[in-house]
Structure 1
Amino acid sequence: SPTRSYALSEAPRTIPAVREHTPARGPGWRPAPGSAVSVAAGSGALDDEARLLARELGIAHRAEAEARAGDIELALDTGQDGGPESYALTVRDGRVRISGPDEAGVFYGTRTVKQALRSGGALPEGVVRDRPGRPQRGLLVDIARKHFTAAWLEARIRELADLKLNQLHLHFADDQAVRIESTTHPEVVAPQHLTKAEVRRLLALADSLHVTLVPEFDSPGHLGAVLAAHPSLQLRTAGGTPVRGAIDIANPASARLVDELLREYAELFPGPYFHVGADEYRALTARNPEATYPALAAEARERYGPQARVQDLATGWLNDRAAVVRAAGKQPKAWNDGIHGGGVVTADRGIEVEYWTGREIGARPPAPYLAEGRKLVNLNSQYLYYVLGEPNQFTYPTGREVYEQWTPLVLRGSQPVPERYSGQVLGGRFAVWCDLANAQTPDQVAAGIRLPLRALAQKVWDPREPQLPWADFTRLADRLDRP
């Protein structure tokens, strides 16, 4: 009989789009009776990924068994180029092979399979070679000002994983509440909170889906919930007025309390990062901090010399907290407005800068941080801040704005930093802040961030010119999100 002719295949339709597809002629692949997800010999570490994909596709699973006709085979290939989150996906002769140098990359290949089948009904013939453009990609949720259930957070972890996003940042302590159980200081924790057992279940799910949970315990500001239980540690002006949310960083007892909490939570979260906050310390917003807070000024001079100011004492506090989490095996992170320039004390250059603000009075632009050689993560408040109730001139960002105007190099406002700094920009994160907590329900939050999160996923995976017009991107997102 004559040989059947096949058209040249098109790239699979996914979010984020695959970086490279070499098309071939052929029927592609779709599940059929007898299809299974198999694990190549010596790649048993991929068994969880194989079981998950098999469940999602409704086909069988075979652990470390030779692939058969119609199968998807998962394989580790430590010699494969592209980095730990890269993968190759080959569709040929009725079979699929997903390989990568690490489990994360192979997992992302399974996400491409899942999405391609949902968007087009089949995996196209040919070879996909894919990798992320940035190592840190994710979502921040302010669970301090608004309680979100463990089930809601589990849904976000699954959503992030399907979009090849790899971080969920939990801002769990603020003036309003501390929302994770503490055994060292239970008195600071709100009645509505996540138990440690719930956090461990979130961690287990996240680990299985290659998502890292990034905890944030903010200080020396945003500590109102802690200070409600420890009022003697609250910062006061020269006239004795208590300062909302600010701890007295001249008091050694303040450091002991915060460090006990940092160590406890660092032990709970096994991931490589810990965010220590450092933003919006109200002592530094006074017109003359040295006159308004003479005790802080005196302590600064005592510790750091006669030229030291309150700013230097705050920088010393940041460095000390970074040292605590580093001793616990964590990479410290801090907000950019807690990392000051021009003082006697310099912020630890090993702290990753989470750059968010173009609004704060006196906030430094990104260039000085980059010129100092610091590494930054992009949380540009113009594009990536979803602030409940839209206070202080914030508006809910749209996915289209992120998709068409933002890239990881657009750190402040709408202008990118020079390309020469690209290697110092580690990625980006979309942020949900719950300033007016009752403005939206959790379900409304999930719906509101759906398209912006998908746009972010595309731009941190591949910041080049989008391959699809926005209207087509939204139609693809809708198709992929159908049950």
Structure 2
Amino acid sequence: MSRPAAGREAAASRPAGHPRSGLEEGRYRGLSLDVARRAFTIDGTVRLLDRMAELGLTALHLHLTETRRVGVRLPGFEELAAPDAWTAADCARLVAAADEAGIALIPEIDLPSHAAALLSGREYLQLRDRRGRVHADRLDVSHPESLELAAALLRAAAQLFPGDAVHLGGDEYFAAPWETEEEQRADRFPSLLAHGRSLVGTAGTAADSFAHFMNALAEVARDLGRTPLMWNDHVVPASQHPGIPISTDIVLDVWIRWRAWTPSVLDYLASGYRVMNSHGDLLYFVLSADGAPAAHGRRRFGLLEDLFRPRRFMGLAAQNEHLDVPPVPEGHADPVLGASLSVWCDAPEVLGEKELLALLDTWLVPFAASFGTTARAAAPAALEGGGQARLRPPAS
């Protein structure tokens, strides 16, 4: 698919002077924040924006929706929001603070998986497997109404958060490599298989139904004047000859490589994709049932500052194997657009907000330093909750 010269709604969605994420310039330095599973205060998030600006980061990716909770009152879908979700006024305050800090905001509506909260009242759109079991957290992308719903949700998020990019989600829809033979079956979801065959012919697969949906949603993003991003989980590279390829206009947010036979970042680059590095081993700050992450990005293999480089992607999950993508020759466009550190709140009760942000700062400092920026190691007053001073981003 070709990218239109200008999105039809770009003027309304991206006002003049709004901060850019750095994607198109190849200098994305981001933080992804899970405001779906956990309710972050606007005050705390504004302080985080200030700290990001001080560290030279460029974008805050807001993961707005999850299986159990919708973290924002989306226009037209207010009934889906959690009781403590951000209001339109909260979002307006956050947008103003991001503008002042020089940080781009990138909203994510995570579909077609992690969707149970979004499908409340629309249970007929939930996916069924071949045994008739309903998967309440998965949207049936073969249903004619599914794209209509997803597009409306994406437009609602874009209305709240002006900017130059949106994240489409697209993760964990199909079985992971370690799941059972039944879960791995090509005909596990008959509606997707039938839809894929209607699009491609007898060789069509459920993956083609998924790709068709994500491509159509990306067109909606481009009509909004936004660069679309999606997680890499189910993107089939050109070398595997998919019936319907995921459009190379979509930036792949590369976080995982489960097995040696699953695609690597090198496969995506060879297929013509632009990529962002969200290394799921090195750049995942996770509150889990096991507790809080260690300070300073410490993992069993070492410290973040020793292990991570912006062009170092996952080789194999949990194996301390990495793929270093070499720099491109001078004068050539760089398909590696940057990197992002992710905060996931699988067990949101593990830390209070103040403690979480203070611990997160010990990760942000070495992450920012990996790009060659200079930053203070100690958490500033702005993160600890008392400071009122607004911090300006460094001159580029």
TM-score (norm. length: structure 1): 0.66
Report the alpha carbon displacement of residue 387 of structure 1 after superposing the two structures with TM: 0.9
Partner residue of 2:287 out of 388, 392, 395: 388
Partner of 1:398: 296
Check if 1:241 corresponds to 2:127: no
Report the alpha carbon displacement of residue 394 of structure 1 after superposing the two structures with TM: 9.8
Determine which structure has more spread, i.e. the larger CA radius of gyration. 1
Distance in 2, matches of 1:184 and 1:360, equals 41
Partner of 2:202: 306
In the alignment, residue 37 of structure 2 is paired with which amino acid? R
SS in 1 for 2:281: helix
Partner of 2:325: 418
Report the alpha carbon displacement of residue 368 of structure 1 after superposing the two structures with TM: 0.3
Structure 2 vs 1, CA of residues 399 and 183 (structure 1 numbering), >3 Å: closer, same or farther? closer
Show CA shifts across 1:33-70 (max 9, x none): xxxxxxxxxxxxxxxxxxxxxxxxxxxxxxxxxxxxxx
Distance in 1, matches of 2:292 and 2:270, equals 29
Distance in 2, matches of 1:234 and 1:257, equals 12
Kindly indicate whether the alpha-carbon contact (under 8 Å) linking 2:19 and 2:163 is maintained by their aligned counterparts in 1.
no
Kindly indicate whether the alpha-carbon contact (under 8 Å) linking 1:267 and 1:328 is maintained by their aligned counterparts in 2.
no
In the alignment, residue 242 of structure 1 is paired with which amino acid? V
Check if 1:292 corresponds to 2:157: no
Structure 2 vs 1, CA of residues 244 and 340 (structure 1 numbering), >3 Å: closer, same or farther? farther
Kindly indicate whether the alpha-carbon contact (under 8 Å) linking 1:354 and 1:377 is maintained by their aligned counterparts in 2.
yes
SS in 2 for 1:428: strand
Aligned residues: 343
Show CA shifts across 1:69-119 (max 9, x none): xxxxxxxxxxxxxxxxxxxxxxxxxxxxxxxxx9989xxxxxxxxxxxxxx
Structure 2 vs 1, CA of residues 181 and 247 (structure 1 numbering), >3 Å: closer, same or farther? same
Report the alpha carbon displacement of residue 236 of structure 1 after superposing the two structures with TM: 0.8
In the alignment, residue 136 of structure 1 is paired with which amino acid? Y
Partner of 1:46: none
SS in 1 for 2:248: coil
Partner residue of 1:368 out of 262, 267, 276: 267
Distance in 2, matches of 1:301 and 1:478, equals 56
Kindly indicate whether the alpha-carbon contact (under 8 Å) linking 1:141 and 1:170 is maintained by their aligned counterparts in 2.
yes
Partner of 1:446: 357
Distance in 2, matches of 1:479 and 1:354, equals 28
Kindly indicate whether the alpha-carbon contact (under 8 Å) linking 2:116 and 2:138 is maintained by their aligned counterparts in 1.
yes
Structure 2 vs 1, CA of residues 206 and 478 (structure 1 numbering), >3 Å: closer, same or farther? same
Report the alpha carbon displacement of residue 295 of structure 1 after superposing the two structures with TM: 1.9
Partner of 2:52: 160
In the TM superposition, 1:186-205 aligns within 5 A as: 186-205=78-97
Report the alpha carbon displacement of residue 287 of structure 1 after superposing the two structures with TM: 4.2
Partner of 2:311: 409
Show CA shifts across 1:360-411 (max 9, x none): 79642211011123111111111110110265x9954634622122101111
Distance in 2, matches of 1:421 and 1:395, equals 34
Partner of 1:181: 73
Check if 1:455 corresponds to 2:366: yes
Distance in 1, matches of 2:200 and 2:175, equals 18
In the TM superposition, 1:188-337 aligns within 5 A as: 188-282=80-174, 287-337=183-233
Kindly indicate whether the alpha-carbon contact (under 8 Å) linking 1:307 and 1:344 is maintained by their aligned counterparts in 2.
yes
Q: CA RMSD in A?
A: 2.7
Q: Which has the higher contact order (CA 8 A, sep 6+)?
A: 2
| Structure 2 unmatched ranges of 5 or more | 1-16, 315-319, 388-396
In the alignment, residue 372 of structure 1 is paired with which amino acid? S
Report the alpha carbon displacement of residue 302 of structure 1 after superposing the two structures with TM: 0.8
Distance in 1, matches of 2:77 and 2:380, equals 44
Structure 2 vs 1, CA of residues 209 and 287 (structure 1 numbering), >3 Å: closer, same or farther? same
Partner of 1:12: none
Kindly indicate whether the alpha-carbon contact (under 8 Å) linking 2:62 and 2:107 is maintained by their aligned counterparts in 1.
yes
Report the alpha carbon displacement of residue 189 of structure 1 after superposing the two structures with TM: 1.5
In the TM superposition, 1:97-176 aligns within 5 A as: 135-176=27-68
Check if 1:478 corresponds to 2:389: no
Distance in 1, matches of 2:109 and 2:209, equals 19
| Structure 1 unmatched ranges of 5 or more | 1-101, 106-132, 468-472
In the alignment, residue 478 of structure 1 is paired with which amino acid? A
Kindly indicate whether the alpha-carbon contact (under 8 Å) linking 1:399 and 1:454 is maintained by their aligned counterparts in 2.
no
Distance in 2, matches of 1:360 and 1:247, equals 26
SS in 2 for 1:431: strand
Of 227-236 and 395-404, deviating more is 395-404
Show CA shifts across 1:309-340 (max 9, x none): 00111111110111111111100000011322
Distance in 2, matches of 1:198 and 1:308, equals 45
Structure 2 vs 1, CA of residues 385 and 360 (structure 1 numbering), >3 Å: closer, same or farther? farther
Partner of 1:357: 256
Report the alpha carbon displacement of residue 480 of structure 1 after superposing the two structures with TM: 6.3
SS in 1 for 2:313: coil
Q: Percent same amino acid among aligned pairs?
A: 28
Show CA shifts across 1:286-313 (max 9, x none): 6454422122111111122221100111
Structure 2 vs 1, CA of residues 394 and 204 (structure 1 numbering), >3 Å: closer, same or farther? closer
Distance in 1, matches of 2:305 and 2:295, equals 11
Distance in 2, matches of 1:390 and 1:362, equals 30
Report the alpha carbon displacement of residue 200 of structure 1 after superposing the two structures with TM: 1.2
Kindly indicate whether the alpha-carbon contact (under 8 Å) linking 2:278 and 2:341 is maintained by their aligned counterparts in 1.
yes
Report the alpha carbon displacement of residue 226 of structure 1 after superposing the two structures with TM: 1.2
TM-score (norm. length: structure 2): 0.80
